[in-house]
Amino acid sequence: MARTILCFFFLCLVALLHPSFSEAVTLGKRNVPAMFVFGDSIVDGGNNVFVDRNVTTRFLPYGIDFPTGPTGRFTNGKNPGDFMSQLLRFPRFLPAFMDPKTTGGMILYGVNYASGGSGILDYPGSLFISLNQQIKYFQNTTIPELRTQFNNTEKLSQYLAKSIFVFNSGGNDIEQECNGPVRKEKCASDEFLESLLANFTHQLKIVYNLGARKFLLFGVQANGCNPQHKATLLATEKCREDINNASKTFNTLLRSSIDRMYKSLPGSNFVFVNTYGIVRNVFDNPQSYGFKVVNQSCCTISTGMRGGACEKYSTPCMDRKTYMYYDGAHFTEALYKLLVKKAYNSTLPTEVYPFNVAHLAALT
């Protein structure tokens, strides 16, 4: 008996002192074997760096607070995909699909396909990786590699069914529609938004048919409040409400579509995160969340770059945890952390629907 207790104490001590042993124990308790991320710059884990070596996110001040420095992420530190991978207890951040090293065992915890500037729709001549192309990469490259890794069809099916598929897309499509030469009260018609949703749900069904069953859908944020739009605001305005209204309408349509997809796709489960509502609440009540600056970027915006990118090698604000926006269109790590925490834990139907990510992860 004494010997058993001594052995148990020794194993506990090893687990505490040896990271790899502790990691193995933790991995055994995870409900989600992998996560696959699709979308735009909000969740881009560095893919655009391999598409365009001159992309500004390769350089400081981007990544100033990320453990390895600049990686192509459109923020000062971690993005929503990174925070979600930590909450799901993965041992490392997801690798970018375009990175040549993303192969073999590197893909077993999942892959990030997201590309800054991309949208639900295809835009000819764009350097960015559209959502359609991201899904093709998953289908034509990742799935065959996973088949080789597993060498067992049933185990691969179980793995995909338990994994979480994250989507953050639609914001660039709405921006593209609303930023024409003439500013309109209703910049995106109902017909356009319904067509956009139809394209998106079709893309989700493709991924479902490839084996996905757990979907995490981030709604479009309050893009009309981005600092890059300040120059176009009227004296009485805080945000471009035409863009915001289009985003809200799309989110409402997306949230409503979840129940229909749940019924038509057997075994599927969806979580919708009301990114717009969460972000707008912080924008309107910043002090309640520890933020002080909501209407300007933390970094100096480059005058020669579209999209409100940071000036290369400029010095950002010092107290980055109190700023909502890092550049003209993207949030700080602090805001992303808050958003993902709510996505994972919130019990408010105004924030997550029909349940949170923790519940999604626990489903069998």
Is residue 169 flagged as an active site residue? Answer: no
From the candidates 82, 115, 118, 330, which is the catalytic residue? 330
Q: Tokens 């979840």, residue?
A: 258
Q: Which amino acid is at 345?
A: N
From the candidates 44, 268, 327, 346, which is the catalytic residue? 327
Q: Tokens 């930023």, residue?
A: 179
Element (H, E) at 144: helix 143-150
From the candidates 41, 115, 247, 346, which is the catalytic residue? 41
Within 265-326, residue ranges assigned H as helices are 275-284
Asked whether 325 and 356 are in contact (CB, 8 A), the reply is no
Q: Residue 256: how many CA atoms within 13 Å on its side-chain side?
A: 9
Q: Is the dihedral of CA 244, 58, 292, 93 positive or negative?
A: positive
Closest among 181, 161, 4, 34 to 94, alpha carbons compared: 34
C-alpha to C-alpha distance for 39 and 55, rounded to whole angstroms: 18
Is residue 202 flagged as an active site residue? Answer: no
C-alpha to C-alpha distance for 21 and 23, rounded to whole angstroms: 5
User: In the 8-state DSSP scheme, what is residue 323?
Assistant: E
Is residue 359 flagged as an active site residue? Answer: no
Q: Known catalytic residues?
A: 41, 327, 330
